[in-house]
């Protein structure tokens, strides 16, 4: 049986969203050495950061592989499409910048550049799906949801901040155990630079 547990870089974001990992039916993994994170008892501290877990089917697949901190891909208060291909590339790091690699590094020794454009499904879709994701994880696992405000230059910075809060509220209501605030994006209301540095 073929096992596919990775994002297909040769396919679109939408294709990957619809084609979650295919995994063989296996018994649940035994609990790991244990860990504790923001008040939650976990089987282990092993987790997946925001990005590759696009929906509840991806969350379920990685939960079954033994990851215990599962971060649902970044969501917004309104739908936002992904950038077109190529949006994930293997690169070689050079002193002056990254250059597209002729081929991926061996033995996992590789660097990738990602530019998906922070896509998000409609809130009606992701809110229901976050509930489903929460139902599909087991004891000793936690669901983190990454949220991002969507700027409107006409509404200003206060509305932008409120949009972050709205997304976080919706994610909590849908069942998130914790919220990750996505700040690795340009600040539209300040000098060029990422919000994480503000």
Read off the pLDDT of residues 24-64 as tens digits, 9 standing for 90 and up. 666 666 667 789 999 999 999 999 998 889 999 999 999 98
Dihedral sign for Cα 162, 173, 47, 14, please: negative
Asked whether residue 190 falls in the same domain as residue 99, the answer is: no
DSSP lists the bridge partners of residue 92 as: 99
Asked whether residue 99 falls in the same domain as residue 145, the answer is: no
Q: Tell how strand 111-114 and strand 88-94 pair up.
A: antiparallel
Q: What is the pLDDT of residue 81?
A: 94
DSSP 8-state secondary structure symbol assigned to residue 28: P
Domain that holds residue 162: 13-82+122-197
Asked whether residue 76 falls in the same domain as residue 87, the answer is: no
**Using alpha carbons only, how large is the chain's radius of gyration in Å?**
18
Which segments in the chain show pLDDT lower than 50?
1-3
- How many domains in the chain? 2
Q: What is the pLDDT of residue 1?
A: 42
pTM of the predicted model as reported, rounded to 2 decimal places: 0.86
On the question of a cis peptide bond just before residue 109, with omega within 30 degrees of 0, the verdict is no
Q: What is the pLDDT of residue 19?
A: 92
Q: Tell how strand 47-48 and strand 69-75 pair up.
A: parallel
Q: What is the pLDDT of residue 37?
A: 94
Q: What is the CATH number of the domain that holds 57?
A: 3.20.20.70
Asked whether residue 93 falls in the same domain as residue 64, the answer is: no
């Amino acid at each position: 049986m073929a096992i596919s547990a990775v994002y297909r870089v040769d396919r679109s974001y939408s294709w990957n969203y619809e084609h979650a990992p295919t995994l063989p039916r296996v018994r649940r993994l035994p609990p790991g050495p244990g860990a504790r994170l923001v008040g939650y008892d976990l089987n282990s501290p092993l987790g997946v950061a925001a990005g590759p877990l696009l929906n509840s089917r991806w969350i379920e697949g990685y939960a079954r592989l033994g990851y215990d901190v599962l971060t649902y891909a970044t969501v917004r208060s309104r739908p936002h499409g992904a950038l077109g291909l190529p949006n994930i590339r293997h690169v070689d790091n050079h002193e002056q910048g990254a250059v597209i690699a002729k081929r991926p590094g061996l033995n996992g020794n590789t660097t990738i550049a990602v530019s998906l454009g922070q896509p998000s499904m409609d809130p009606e879709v992701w809110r229901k799906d976050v509930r489903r994701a929460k139902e599909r994880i087991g004891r000793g696992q936690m669901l983190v949801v990454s949220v991002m405000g969507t700027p409107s230059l006409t509404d200003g910075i206060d509305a932008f901040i409120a949009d972050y809060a709205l997304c976080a509220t919706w994610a909590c209501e849908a069942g998130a155990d914790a919220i990750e605030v996505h700040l690795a994006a340009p600040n539209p209301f300040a000098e060029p630079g990422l919000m994480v540095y503000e």
